[in-house]
Structure 1
């Protein structure tokens, strides 16, 4: 079976599972509330210059939440639901199945961008225009790719970790800050900048804001950085997932739940 067919069947599987577990779409309820809060604070402070930040931030947060809270639990949920033995018994690479399912959840999270725009336009009368739509589309595509790679890695880390809940709870707001979602990376202390650039969100946030304002300087460098970080995360996630599958087979704990 080709790689694309494996991923496609994994997407179909996740769609079927998500229809029975609507909590995967809860991120779509969070984005409008976050947009309302951020825009209300921004406009109350008479900061029209940062309206774009208030609209884009909930979309990026939605992607990270989808990656961290939903996609990151895929392998763990398979174990507890008893699907894991059947999935690893299939004559395909289990990591590719995870990638396809993660991509499905992340795709739902991208709707947070549209929701933020809608809330800004309908609720606050602020119609955000994009000065460089081509760059913006490339930035969103690269960001989604990086989110899938990161979620693949997180799903593997969570399933091998004994402190999954602690990790999930601690990887939220620190990454919103390091990722330049709430405030641009340039506004952070200088000593944090090297750490921020290891988080794909920092490149994505700057690129998206630049595309909205028409500042596309260095866009290619940003896209390459996002894609590179995505590739590293994806490779690490596939490797760690395969190691986990091999270990469960070797130790005879495939049926353990």
Structure 2
């Protein structure tokens, strides 16, 4: 009976690392950071222009509700986009409707069979976030009103700027170390950065519009479900796509 070697996952395969690979990694990382150092302030103004155009069209306020401000990070001045919009408080029927919906989803999660565990956990997470949103508005109404702009727009825009700076370093650690053609490495990072450049203002405007269409009750659920998670999922998809270009393990041998 012949034995067959199990194919080793390419992520577990050992590759020969030389000083040329280290030099290439550092050059790519520094090149992307230099581009960001020049382009980030321009990008903040473009984001502000796009959101300033969208704000009145979405009914979120006038274009003056979007502006570029200078803040400090570890003593270094950086430009960021800041927004202003109004989200109405919930009416009585909205509060009780949200409570019944959250409790209904939680109850449904206990009725479903264990074969549907992903759906069960999803329902419980949504229900729990809904309950937290209800309680936070009921007992901390001032906090809910004052933080809505920061949660649903400003934090998204700040997150996008931070991810733009972090993405080249993350790719250097988990993608550039594999023997992928250098053009594929550059394309991977550029694709991830382009995804952020295009999607972040769209995401911020969408969450702000959704919150205004409903009430302050949805602020926390929207932020927890649709702020970091979509961006992380998109970046993982891009990483997986370009990782597929890494050489497949050979059959047999170590």
TM-score interval (norm. to shorter): 0.3 to 0.5
| Bigger CA radius of gyration | 2
TM-score normalised by L of structure 2: 0.33
